[in-house]
A and B are shown apart, each in its own frame.
Chain A
């Protein structure tokens, strides 16, 4: 069965600084990969997804993620963080033929002024 690890439970960055959130997965082939963001008390919003093709994926709100097969990683990046980016970020994995997504435990992002 597939699994997802988000090694960082909590990250604090200064506004305007760059951001990288880590995501590692375990699966025998290339899965479908997603990043979602959840603001407090809200649902999940899809930031970006990777199915195949170009390994650098652009998403909404200035986020991007890079799929690295050799490292089984799909890290999320943003060059300059805004205070409104403070939220919880979830990496998720899907596999062909099965609709259930497997989520990581999340990384809570705090943005300092």
Chain B
């Protein structure tokens, strides 16, 4: 059973460009979470999604950030008009229906904004 998959692993963008980060949960997992890790810090929750639904987006910045988890395909975290402060590692996690409290993390996408 493959783990949580994220791509790309590294992403470089110039200020003002858009960044799209993808996450495929573990097989059978229907819950996806996105976290951001700034340098030398712990992870900060951003958003929790189920298929076609955003359940909790209390950690998402109010502007430029959006997330989706369509019926088919991976979850996408989208950052529009990136700024240098968006440089961070973005981690996706997933959990199974029978153990929703336990989250399994992907390898992360390291975003660098020039």
B-binding residues in A (CB < 8 A): 4, 32, 34, 36, 41-46, 49, 51, 90, 92, 94, 98-106
Q: Enumerate chain B residues within 8 angstroms of A4, measured Cβ to Cβ.
A: 42
> For chain B residues 49-92, which have a beta carbon within 8 Å of chain A?
55-56, 58-59, 91
The winner among A36, A46, A101, A102 for most chain B CB atoms within 10 A is A101
Check A101/B45 contact, CB under 8 A, given A51-B101, A94-B101. Answer: yes
Contacts of B58 in A (CB 8 A): 100
Q: Tell whether, in the assembled complex, residue B45 and residue A100 are in contact, meaning their CB atoms are under 8 Å apart.
A: yes
**B104 CB to nearest A CB, Å:** 7
**B95 in the interface (beta carbon within 8 A):** yes
Q: Is B31 an interface residue (CB 8 A)?
A: yes
Secondary structure at the A interface, as helix, strand, loop or mixed, is: strand
Shortest Cβ-Cβ A-B pairs, 6 listed: A103-B42, A100-B45, A43-B107, A44-B105, A103-B43, A43-B105
* A98 vs B55: C-alpha distance when bound (angstroms): 10
Contact B42 A99 (CB under 8 A): no
**Given A42-B107, A94-B101, residue A99 in contact with residue B43 (CB < 8 A):** no
CB distance from A64 to the nearest CB of B (A): 18
What's the tally of chain B residues with a CB closer than 8 Å to chain A? 28
Residue from the list A36, A99, A102, A105 in contact with B105, Cβ < 8 A: A36
Shortest CB–CB separation between residue B102 and chain A, in angstroms? 6
CA A32 to CA B100, docked complex, whole Å: 12
Query: With the chains together, A102 CA to B102 CA distance in Å?
Result: 13
| Across-interface contacts of A100 in B (CB, < 8 A) | 33, 45, 48, 56, 58-59
User: Who on chain B is nearest to A96 by CB?
Assistant: B101
> Do A49 and B102 touch (CB < 8 A)?
yes
On whether A106 and B42 interact (CB within 8 A), knowing A42-B107, A99-B33, A99-B48, the answer reads yes
- Chain B residues within 8 Å of A90, by CB: 42-43
A97 to B49, CA, bound (A): 14
Instruction: Let me know if B44 is at the binding interface, CB within 8 A.
Output: yes
